[in-house]
Every structure is written in structure tokens, then in C-alpha cells.
Amino acid sequence: MFVDHARIFVSAGGGGNGCMSFRREKYVPRGGPDGGDGGDGGSVVLLADPNLSTLVPFRYQRLFRARRGQHGMGSNCHGRSAEDLVVNVPPGTQVLEEASGAVLADLRKAGDRFVVARGGRGGRGNARFATSTHQAPRRADKGEPGAELWLTLELKLLADVGLIGFPNAGKSTLISRISDAHPKIADYPFTTLTPHLGHVPVDESFSFVVADIPGLIEGAAGGAGLGTRFLRHVERTRLLLHLVEVSPEAQTSPLERLRIIDKELAASPGRLADKPMMIIATKIDTLGPAGSPDASSEGLAALERHCVERGLDFAAISAVTGQGVDTLIQRVARRLREMSAASKNGPVGPEGPTGGGDADDAGAMETMASEKTCGWD
């Protein structure tokens, strides 16, 4: 089960109370105050765990409460501070405060951690207030309460390449052929209901991760079909492969389907229309031989002409027969290498070079902005 949205309540532990105590020992005159401090409460920490890939555990547990600190005791004994409560989440999880909608943290890489609710500080015992002029203080502080808040967790898949397109465009078939992913494959719309990740080895020194995004339709940016639920998974991909079916059975022309999806990307948040893109014509095995009356290749030719005019990378494949697939993998790998090199050697900004391989870094965003899009009027 794939779950990419969860709502949880976190509660940090309160601090222990300080102790008010006076030393009373035989043969020890003027014992004086000896109340210890309370321990600090435990904080709630979110940790990106590479062994997790979904938010499904949070469907069954929504309350996360850290322990409070131990109270102070006499004989200057301080209370024990509580351990932090570590909550594991999958890499790529965004943490939002439910009340305001503000993004508190973005745990992208494995090992990233964020203290989402800080534990309360322990109270001071009366031994802390003793002075030369106030030798018997009768004051001890209470522990501070820990922070409590409702959070919204949103998982955005981390992949180098995202496969987008209409339902039944051949995305699942392609990812199952080029990677180790095994999504469900069928000949009806919306076969894929959850995103899938696959690892594509290119050579001994290079590989990339590809994500199969469930099919999009007209109005997806406004919630139609699977809507914005899966559009956010496209935000962190470095390169989009827009798969366009060119088979004779398709109800609309390839150019019309390309136009619809391009407009949905432009209408969605996250600068999706600015991302580098390749147009992939799929199911070319269903076309007749060239020159035959039933070749039905007008749509393929029109799509290729459009991509040439707009300066877009174009490829035609058949994921079923494997035609053009190996060449596509090499072209995608070369494109990713070029993007990484461009981001590492990006322009120098006011705070220094904009290096780094992350698509959301400044250098990578410069690369995205410079890429040409479909450019529909």
C-alpha cells in the first residue's frame, strides 16, 4: 500500500519540577537547601529513514508523545532528562504545520533530521536560589510544558526521471522493461493508481532512478482524475519523459494529448512546466508498415515535426518489442550527466557558486529555466 499523505499529532515531554528540600542530618548544623533540578523533557525528532518508502505506518499511529523529565529530588539529586522520541519517515517527506500550512522541514535525504517539537526545560530546585543573604529559599520552579502541534506529512518521491502522460500511454510497460520495478500492467485506463520507483543501470559507473507517475488527464491541476494528488511527485524529478501514445486506437491525436498535459503542467504549482522534458512517442509497434494504406503514421509525423520546431528532444519507442528503448536509456543518461555538470559549474551568485546536483538548487533551477518547453499559445 502506498500512502503519501498523513496527519499526526506530536507532543514533546514536559520538564520535571524542581525540588524544594532542606538537608537535615544529625551533627550537621544549618543544613541548608538541597533541592535538585528537574530533568528536561524529551523532544520529538523526525528522521529520514532510507528503509521507508511510504507513509502507511502513520495510518495506524497518529499520536507521538515523548516522555517528560524526572522531577528533582533532595540531597541535590537532579531528575533524569527524558530521551528524545525519534519518528522515522521516508526520505522526501515535507513537514507542514496544520494550523498555518507553513513548511517546517523538508527531509529530502536519508539521515536528515528535524526537531519538530522541543521538550520543556526542567525546573530549578531551591538549592539554585541560595545566596549569602537568602540562605533558606522556599522557592522551586515547575518544569516547562513541551510543545504540541498537529502536523501534515506529505511525501514527494525523489527520482531523476519522471514518466508522465495520459492513462495507458505505456508508462508502466516502459518502467518494467528498463528497471527492476514491477507495476501492474493492463489495457484499461488508470491501471496505475500508485507511483512506482525503479532503478535503471546504465553502466558500471552510472545509473538513475525513474518514477512511474499515475496517468494524468485534462483538468488534473484542478483535481480531475487523480488530480494534484500525484502531480506533486513530479516536482522533484530532474527530467520528465512525456509519453504520448501514437497507436491507431487512441481517441485523440498525439498533438492534442501533448497539448493537454503541457497545459496541466503549466497550471500546477512547483514550476513543472519549466522542467527539462523529452517527448516519447510510444506503441509504434501498432502502426502499419511505412507506405501502407493503414500505416496511421500521420500523428507520429506531426508530433515529430512539432518537437523539431520547438527544439524538444524526441524519440519513438515500443516498450513491448523493445524498439528504441536501449537508445532512449543512453540518451536519458547523457542528458542527466549534462544537467549535473551544468548545475555543478553553474553561474556564480551573490553567495558564491551555485553548485550541487539537486534539481531544486539554484544551479539546477538555472538549467531548468533555460530548457525549452512545448510553448503552447
Q: What's the CATH number where 123 sits? A: 2.70.210.12
Cell of 23: 538537608
Triad 138, 139, 141: Cα angle to 5°? 155
* CA dist., res. 369 & res. 371, Å (int): 6
CA dihedral 199→212→278→251, nearest 10 degrees, is 150
What's the half-sphere exposure (Cβ side, CA atoms, 13 Å) at 72? 30
For residue 183, tell me if it sits in a domain.
yes
For residue 37, tell me if it sits in a domain.
yes
pLDDT range class, residue 370, cuts 50, 70, 90: very low
Q: For residue 72, how many other CB atoms are within 10 A of its CB?
A: 30
Q: Between β-strands 277-282 and 196-203, what pairing exists: parallel, antiparallel or unpaired?
A: unpaired
pLDDT range class, residue 290, cuts 50, 70, 90: low
Quick one: what percent of the chain has pLDDT higher than 90?
37
- Residue entry with cell 527544439: 311
pLDDT tens digit sequence for 220-276: 444 444 444 556 667 778 888 999 988 887 778 888 888 888 887 777 766 677 788
The last residue of one of the domains, among 155, 179, 205, is 155
Q: Between β-strands 196-203 and 206-212, what pairing exists: parallel, antiparallel or unpaired?
A: antiparallel
pLDDT tens digit sequence for 149-191: 999 998 877 678 888 888 878 888 888 888 876 655 545 444 4
For residue 375, tell me if it sits in a domain.
no
Q: Which of 134-138, 205-209, 338-342 has the highest mean pLDDT?
A: 134-138
| pTM beyond 0.85, yes or no | no
- pLDDT given at position 233: 66
Average pLDDT, the chain: 80
The last residue of one of the domains, among 121, 155, 189, is 155
- pLDDT given at position 367: 35
State CA 204 to chain mean position distance.
Answer: 27
How many domains does the chain divide into?
A: 2
Q: In angstroms, what CA-CA distances link 361 with 19, 158, 259, 355? A: 51, 14, 29, 8
**pLDDT (mean) for 307-323:** 90
* Domain membership of residue 103 as a residue range: 1-155
- pLDDT given at position 266: 78
For residue 377, tell me if it sits in a domain.
no
The last residue of one of the domains, among 138, 155, 172, is 155
Q: Are 22 and 62 in the same domain?
A: yes
**pLDDT (mean) for 320-338:** 91
pLDDT tens digit sequence for 49-88: 988 877 888 988 999 999 999 999 999 999 999 999 999 9
- pLDDT given at position 178: 86
For residue 263, tell me if it sits in a domain.
yes
